[in-house]
Amino acid sequence: MYDRPVHRVLGGRFELLALLGEGGMGAGWRARDRELDELVALKLIRPELAADGAMVARFRSEVKLARRVTHRHVARIFEVGTLDGEAYFTMELVEGPSLAQRLRAGRRPWRDAVEVAHALALALEAAHAAGVIHRDVKPDNVLLEDGGRVVLTDFGIAAARASAGGGLAGTPAYMAPEQLAGDPPTAAVDVYALGVVLHEMLTGLPAWRGHLAELLAAKQACEALEVGLPEIDPALADVVRRATARDPARRIRSASELRGLLTRWIDPEAAAVRPPRRRDCASVRDVVVSPLAPGPELEAGGVAFLGEALYEQLVARLWHVPGLRVVASWQAGARPRPAAEAAITVDDAITVSARDGAGAELVRVRVPPVASLLAATAATVASGLAAGLGIVEDEPSAALPEEAAARYLRARHLARRMGSRSVAQAVAGYDAALALAPGDTRVLAARAMALARMVFFARPDHEALAAAAAAAAAALARAPERAESQIAAGQVALHQGDPVAAAAHLRQALARAPYAAEAHEWLGRILLEAGHVEEGIARVETALSLDPRLELAQWEIARAYALEGDWARHDAIASALIGDSRLRATPWAARFASWRGDHARALEILANADPREGESGFPPEFLARVGRGFTGGWAGERDALLAYTANRPASLRRAAMVCPLVAECAGAAGDVATCVVALERAIASGFFDLHWLDRCPLLAAPRAAGALAALRPPVAARSQRILDALYGESPSHNATADTVFATPTATPTTG
């Protein structure tokens, strides 16, 4: 069918070495990428499909989405494009047979079957965490690498094929009944398909045969698949039964839960899996939680921080509710009407109200502004909202003692602000909370994070870094399972110049608490700097969905679009998230203006900025020198600015930010030699901002002179190690939020 001789070179780049197989979308080839001198799997789209512009657009969109899934049990997708008039994409070449080929020899030993299913559940867990549904899990799409690794392939291909007129997205024999009936695919269809694959491995026989109509009727009539072999552990047979339940409400709720259930046969010492919550639902629904709308109060003595803390706790509670997805208010306009909206107001009391999509009130709670009531209030509101939508919620967790909680929450409110003074006040607040609740891991971890930020501002204070490291170590030693402990350790690692260790800690944080906005924020920022732009933006947007007040996250999205040269997107995002007033008086905005080539605007912004060191973390003298360096005064400022790069502050992250600023000045002035010196010093301090190195417009002169060629490889290698630390090993058992289904039911309003 494919008249493409071996060793044909596609687009002068990909040498086709051997045909790996053919499928509904096209052919897969073992190929050599001559540009990178690497072997890859190259998939060429059938010519008749590639001629369909809409299909190709959908295909590219699906593959770009699938690129977000990076996990050792997922075949990495590298790029998608068109060469010699043929649409293609490349992915990791996995040397080994498919599971389908292995199954032709008969059933698998039950332990092998469980190990394969466990690995696939991990792969799906990572995919669902990235918002990607496979839709076509089947033995043909599972590769068994010669070294023992199990690899899931062809993410997004089923959807692209369906858009080309193929009808259903998937393979009917492995599709869930609701998917086969034409319902929109959700994560539960992947759980069902994996259950069918596990059944086939255990029995050696395909679970379903027949034409589409026959399969639809058979699956609608079958409650679940039964293994029915005496040598199979009844508990394992029950896992298959629950994974393949016809009714999604009775099915295992997520790939994470399925993986957890299989763990007992992988590691007998593993802790018992918590019994699943029953789901009475059939679709994921959005809930918008609006940021705090405070009433009239003075900041110095007010209680707005309690409203902010309640917002955090309510979002965290709702994240755990099956069938609900928390959406930021700034994102809501791009989505259909949400199932429910919640709002918090603060005056002489704290009021939380939630209404459904039709405006009917689901729950209203009004409580005194007392810190010890917040956890119970969040639990009450979440439970009332969930009950109004027909969903069962968990029990609330324990709270800190009243006075300790008040000091802790006020300190968190201060720590969220940009600037050295607020962070110092936050550390003092945490110290006071620890005096009242010694050893509390939440406070210890939060204090460690604040101390790490102090290190950034307190340039010569090496003792502060040691204190931050000690605080993070104490939090990790007392409660490594808490996300806050891992986030603290990650932030300290960043300031110690070890972004790879930071990435690993942040991954652990999300494995323990996928609703932790700070973990998503820092993970997104690291990914953006490391040049993984799509993944980074997705993570930062997730952070802002959970907490729209994360100001640094707002700036990071604006920065990413500025570096991409997408100024229309930058302006829209910056105006919506940051606000025009902040854009007129913040040093970060001045930097973006200089990237735009508007140095006069940059100087104007710096002139309006707070004259104190404040939120930027840089002294006014340094910023003034940078401004003069950009406006014709580079020769007079060169030596002083270069001296800044020679200083060795306690925070290597600070050094890795100062040096690029000086490099920008030098690059804009055409001083290539000084630019290189500043960048070499940045790299020695742990610099990994590959996105900036590749895209900053002020480095055009050194880039054109070839001066960056020798500097890029160590930064690129560091970027890859960061990605490996994030996605190279199996995530923990809570690494993804549940994606489940809900059917609205009438429930009395509570309040």
Kind of pairing, strands 26-33 and 38-45?
antiparallel
8 Å CB contact between 465 and 455: yes
- C-alpha 76/C-alpha 263 separation (Å) is 25
Catalytic residues: 136
8 Å CB contact between 528 and 689: no
| Neighbour tally for 439: CB within 10 Å | 11
Q: N- to C-terminal Cα distance for the chain?
A: 67
Specify the length of the chain in residues.
751
Single out the residue of 552, 568, 504 nearest to residue 723, CA to CA. 504
Element (H, E) at 247: none
Cβ-in-10-Å burial (0-12, 13-18, 19+) of 550 comes to buried
Kind of pairing, strands 142-144 and 285-289?
unpaired
Positive or negative torsion for Cα 737, 738, 741, 747? negative
- C-alpha 121/C-alpha 117 separation (Å) is 6
Cβ-in-10-Å burial (0-12, 13-18, 19+) of 363 comes to buried
- C-alpha 319/C-alpha 738 separation (Å) is 8
8 Å CB contact between 128 and 166: no
- C-alpha 270/C-alpha 450 separation (Å) is 35
Q: Is 685 helix (H, G, I), strand (E, B) or coil?
A: coil
Helix, strand, coil shares, percent, the chain, to 5: 55, 10, 35
8 Å CB contact between 517 and 736: no
Q: Which residue has the tokens 């270069």?
A: 642
DSSP lists the bridge partners of residue 27 as: 22, 44
Strands (E), 213-259: none
8 Å CB contact between 76 and 91: yes
Angle between helices 620-630 and 599-608 (to 10 degrees): 160
Give the type of residue at 602: A
- C-alpha 411/C-alpha 596 separation (Å) is 37
Kind of pairing, strands 86-91 and 77-83?
antiparallel
